[in-house]
Chain A
Amino acid sequence: MNTVWLSLVTVLPIAIGAATAALAMRAISTSAIEGMTRQPEIAQQLFTAMLIGMALVEALCIYTLVVTLVMAGNVG
């Protein structure tokens, strides 16, 4: 019983982190693609800004991945 709870607690952060990061990335890519189709002449700048925004969102997800890895190492 205890092991089940421990493993659940260990994998829950990365599940929540990945899901919320996916929502945020959906918002970023949707608006970036809308902007690119409306104004293809600035598509390159929008792509750069989109990549940076996605990297910032992704960093949060990676933090949860690191926390999960540390917890998994401690729980064993």
Chain B
Amino acid sequence: MVIAMTETVTHGMDPQSLVVLVNAAAVGAALVAGGAWLARGQLSVDAPGPRQNIGEAILSFFVGKARAMAHGPQASRIVNLVTPLLATLFLFIFVSNLVAILPLPVVNRPPTSHFSVTLGLALCAVLGTLVVSAALKGPLPTLKHLFWPNPMQWVSEITDVMSLSLRLFGNIAGEYMTVLLVVAVVPWGIPLILHALGLIPAFVQALVFTLLTASFMAAAIHEEKKRQRRRRGLFGAKGATTEGRASS
């Protein structure tokens, strides 16, 4: 029955897409399980255990990235809104890229080497940017920002999706194809070096995706900050010092 159900779901789907689908689900499940394992047990302020230390180190990495893009009076709210999205994107992309180094011949295709997955991730990032902007500025100013002052401003959102998804797809798929070609010629030794070198793009591409999403978000909420700064300037030197302290 399971086989019949699988055939119903995967009707007309090529085996590579099925591998990608299963791998993406496995990466998601592994991340959820790992997060639950890190957060389980006795959390303590005075004597944090090793698991709590690992979890807090990972969390503070993302909070630091979010703090770097958030300025102004709403900074802590921006950090609270943005950190979960950035952390999810980074962890999913990084662990997905690392699937390629598993020593399994056919099923080690990274989910991020399939264009559907990267397109979905990029759509999540750009729609998340719009949602964060709507939460901070309200929905109407966000919509207005798409058409004003430049009526073609919405095109840039589409090109953001294209550039984010194509960059991740091209890097990871190119790496994967290179390893496949080399494995077909020299099955021993050389692929190890390629995999070791592949760890660098795996991290850098996840970081670049996250940083670009963060900078799109900073640009989307930047307009509001500029208006506030101008309004504060009218109140003179006191407002200027408050603003300086808030942004530092």
Contacts and interface: CB of A to CB of B under 8 A. Distances in A.
A16 interface: no
Contact of A59 (B68, B163, B211): B163
Interface in B102-145: none
A38 to B, nearest CB: 21
Interface residues of B, dominant DSSP = helix
B167 A59 contact: yes
A48 B210 CA distance: 11
Contacts of B204: 51
Contacts of B166: 59, 62-63, 66
A51 B170 contact: no
Interface string A34-69: 000000000000001001101110110011011000
A62 B208 CA distance: 14
A52 B208 contact: yes
Interface residues of A, dominant DSSP = helix
A52 B212 contact: yes
Nearest to A56: B163
A52 B68 CA distance: 14
B163 A51 contact: no
Contact of A52 (B170, B171, B174, B215): B215
Interface of B: 68, 163, 166-167, 169-171, 174, 204, 207-208, 211-212, 215
